Chains A and B, each alone.
Chain A
Amino acid sequence: MLLYYFRLAMLSIKKTPLLSFLMIATIAVGIAATMVTYTVNYMMSQDPVPGKSERLFTVHLSSWDPNMGYRIKDGKEDIPIFMTYQDATNLYADKKAHKQTIISFHKAMVRGAEQPSGQATMTYLRPTTHEFFSMLDVPFLYGSPWTEYDDSQGSMVVVLSKKKNEQLFQGQNSLGQEVIIGGSIYRVIGVLDDWLPLPRFYTENSDAYSEPRGLFFPFQSSINNDWFSGTDGSVYCWGGVDLIDLDAVKASECVWLFYWVELESAELRNEYLAYINSYAQEQRELGRFQREQMNRVMNVAEFIEYNEVVKKDGRIAVWLAAAFLIACLLNSMSLMMTKFHGKGAEVGLRRAVGASKVDIARQFFCETLIIGLSGGVIGLALAQLGLHITAQVYSYLHSELMDMNLSLMLLTIGLSVLSSALFGLYPIYRACQIQPSSQLKSL
């Protein structure tokens, strides 16, 4: 019987091609608009380190100027999301967490040792510590992270992203090759596989949806090289410092380093915070940390929320798109009313020869499902097109954001079928209520 209804539905769609096309197109456009915005928003709100994000914490300290607060956020005093050099290195040396890492930034001219110096390009760099890779589950294609020893010595070793390795070494296994970074020779000890944590949560929110930086090397080596620049990251200072002099910055209250720890379990959070507070207390006794203490640790989700990495207007856009979808569905609903109304004679006839109201409802429900399914398939295609265009327009955002995974594709089709069925209920109800006698008399 179901097959019969589907055959009738196909015949009916063929019989009124324009009306059917309008219905399908209306649904498809609404579905596409909704799914484009939803996909971007959904991909932006993914867990960037699944299975681990509850155990990764960033540490924020109340080390700011006793005479003036750092800033006001949501009507309350707030503390920096960065750390001073002294605090980062003190905490790092303590190694109180299961793992900890300092994340810094720098930029310099970079080229392969074999390349002529004219081919060097200005490149954003990521000085950090060796734990960074295991803490963030970063996959390696060749080699491995540097060691604790390299961190302590500031060895001149570098890990390249897959893309950077393609740029510098045509994607070859480049272990042992040399890269000239800002005039210093670094030896390649690792090449990453594809790695795109979305959002890129571990630094500032402005970087959240761009590609990770392509060169990683020991933080200590950037210190040894006297590398410091405030132009590709944030540095906030109080108490008058000469930013040209790295030694002065190291001793200052300038905040610029991100500090992340991995705990063995999320439950150890309070214990770790107690340690941070006691560290702050020690510093207070030494004359620092004179403001009211608001030290805190934030896990990945909390920091993403706090940092407003997922923009609120993104969510509003999804609601607007959903409202647009409803408008489309209402439109399609009125087309459906027209269509089913035009089938009054057929309904009357079928009722006369023995179809019950339920039979009629089933027949039209099948037709609605086919319309919804077609709308979903075309909507999916339109959404892909829309995402493609969005990816071009917002080329600074990572294109991974504009990619539907399988479950989103299924969601697209499911949403279309379900919403069409829902908005088809009333037209179907009306069609069932047609008095057979009234239709037959007029014929």
Chain B
Amino acid sequence: MLKMSNIAKIYLTDTVKTQALQPFNLDIKAGEFVAVVGPSGSGKTTFLNITGLLEDYSEGSYFLNDQDVTDLSDRQKSRLRNEQIGFIFQSFNLIPELNLFDNVEMPLRYRKFSAKERKNRVVDALTKVGLVNRQAHYPQQLSGGQQQRVAIARALAGSPSFLLADEPTGNLDSSMADGIMSLLKDINTAGTSILMVTHDLQQAAKADRIVEIRDGVLTENESINQVVA
């Protein structure tokens, strides 16, 4: 589903040149749940942004569902993000002046769906995260865990082929975090691939695969034990 070869990322800022990611290869199959671990500042977010077509890479090639994404226009990339990828962020990134329904509906607005289709999808997605009866509420009326559930509903509404989650539980206490993790696990079981950056090794252990990034070097690990070691 996702095939990266010799991808590398260099940041050029005025005088400093940061090699954020050393060249790496990565292959992710449909339905996989991959955890990305590593110390902070090592390049995890950069990797996730490249995967999500939010950032260009400096070299290498990237195929998404057998499509080369290197030379796509802004419009084409936006469309791929809209249809294939769902994003979940550490700080939820809900729009405070929109209610839950409108927040979840947002990605669907950039797609040619009828109002009825949009509504069905929003209700479906909110049902999946257990918040369908609160669709008229505003984000600030919810707890952090509930807000992250809304963000997950937003990522799911367009039925993407994979989710990218950047420390989705980073801002939550552990009981809420567990709830989010089991929700993601359910979503994965239902067929959506997930790439999740996390600090928490216990959560990483629930993934099918673990990728570790350290100082911009990406390595595959068979199991969580290797990371700990």
Residues of B within 8 A of A346 (CB): 95
**A307-340: which have CB < 8 Å to B?**
none
Flag if A357 contacts B83 (CB, 8 Å).
Answer: no
Flag if A354 contacts B93 (CB, 8 Å).
Answer: no
Option from A353, A356, A436 in Cβ contact (under 8 Å) with B107: A353
Flag if A349 contacts B110 (CB, 8 Å).
Answer: no
Flag if A353 contacts B110 (CB, 8 Å).
Answer: yes
Flag if A354 contacts B52 (CB, 8 Å).
Answer: no
Q: How far is the CB of A330 from chain B (nearest CB, A)?
A: 29
- In the assembled complex, the Cα of A352 lies from the Cα of B154 at a distance in Å of 12
Judged by DSSP, the binding face of A is helix
Query: Is B75 interfacial (CB 8 A cutoff)?
Result: yes
Query: Is A11 interfacial (CB 8 A cutoff)?
Result: yes
Q: Mark A403-443, 1 if CB is under 8 A from B, else 0.
A: 00000000000000000000000000000000111001101
Flag if B81 contacts A443 (CB, 8 Å).
Answer: no
Flag if A357 contacts B74 (CB, 8 Å).
Answer: yes
User: A11-B98, A441-B45 are known contacts. Are A356 and B93 too (CB-CB below 8 A)?
Assistant: no
Residues of A within 8 A of B87 (CB): 352-353, 440
Flag if A14 contacts B74 (CB, 8 Å).
Answer: no
Residues of A within 8 A of B97 (CB): 11-12, 14-15
The A/B interface has a contact count, at CB < 8 Å, of 68
Q: Mark B15-32, 1 if CB is under 8 A from A, else 0.
A: 000000000000000000
Option from A1, A11, A437, A440 in Cβ contact (under 8 Å) with B93: A440
Q: Mark B96-123, 1 if CB is under 8 A from A, else 0.
A: 0110000000110111000000000000
Query: Is A150 interfacial (CB 8 A cutoff)?
Result: no
Residues of B within 8 A of A357 (CB): 74-75, 78
Query: Is B10 interfacial (CB 8 A cutoff)?
Result: no
- In the assembled complex, the Cα of A91 lies from the Cα of B208 at a distance in Å of 110
Number of B residues near A (Cβ < 8 Å) is: 28
Q: How far is the CB of B65 from chain A (nearest CB, A)?
A: 16
- In the assembled complex, the Cα of A11 lies from the Cα of B99 at a distance in Å of 12
Q: How far is the CB of A345 from chain B (nearest CB, A)?
A: 7
Flag if A356 contacts B54 (CB, 8 Å).
Answer: no
Residues of A within 8 A of B82 (CB): 353-355
Flag if B45 contacts A356 (CB, 8 Å).
Answer: no
User: A359-B110, A440-B89, A443-B90 are known contacts. Are A354 and B95 too (CB-CB below 8 A)?
Assistant: no
Residues of B within 8 A of A353 (CB): 81-82, 87, 106-107, 110, 154, 158
Query: Is A351 interfacial (CB 8 A cutoff)?
Result: yes
Number of A residues near B (Cβ < 8 Å) is: 25
Q: How far is the CB of B150 from chain A (nearest CB, A)?
A: 13
Flag if A355 contacts B78 (CB, 8 Å).
Answer: yes
- In the assembled complex, the Cα of A345 lies from the Cα of B89 at a distance in Å of 12
Q: How far is the CB of B140 from chain A (nearest CB, A)?
A: 13
- In the assembled complex, the Cα of A350 lies from the Cα of B74 at a distance in Å of 13
- In the assembled complex, the Cα of A357 lies from the Cα of B79 at a distance in Å of 11
Query: Is A358 interfacial (CB 8 A cutoff)?
Result: yes
- In the assembled complex, the Cα of A12 lies from the Cα of B110 at a distance in Å of 19
User: A353-B81, A358-B75 are known contacts. Are A440 and B110 too (CB-CB below 8 A)?
Assistant: no
User: A4-B109, A15-B97, A437-B49 are known contacts. Are A356 and B74 too (CB-CB below 8 A)?
Assistant: yes
User: A14-B97, A440-B89, A441-B45 are known contacts. Are A354 and B107 too (CB-CB below 8 A)?
Assistant: yes
Cβ contacts A to B, 8 pairs, < 8 Å: A1-B109, A15-B97, A349-B93, A355-B110, A356-B74, A356-B78, A437-B54, A440-B93
19 more A-B residue pairs beyond the given contacts A357-B75, A437-B55, A440-B49, with a C-beta to C-beta distance below 8 A = A1-B109, A4-B109, A11-B98, A12-B97, A15-B97, A351-B54, A351-B78, A353-B87, A353-B107, A353-B110, A353-B154, A354-B79, A354-B82, A355-B82, A356-B78, A357-B74, A357-B78, A440-B54, A441-B45
Which A residues are within 8 Å of any B CB, using their own CB? 1, 4, 11-12, 14-15, 345-346, 349-359, 435-437, 440-441, 443
Which B residues are within 8 Å of any A CB, using their own CB? 45, 49, 52, 54-55, 74-75, 78-79, 81-83, 87, 89-91, 93, 95, 97-98, 106-107, 109-111, 154, 158, 166
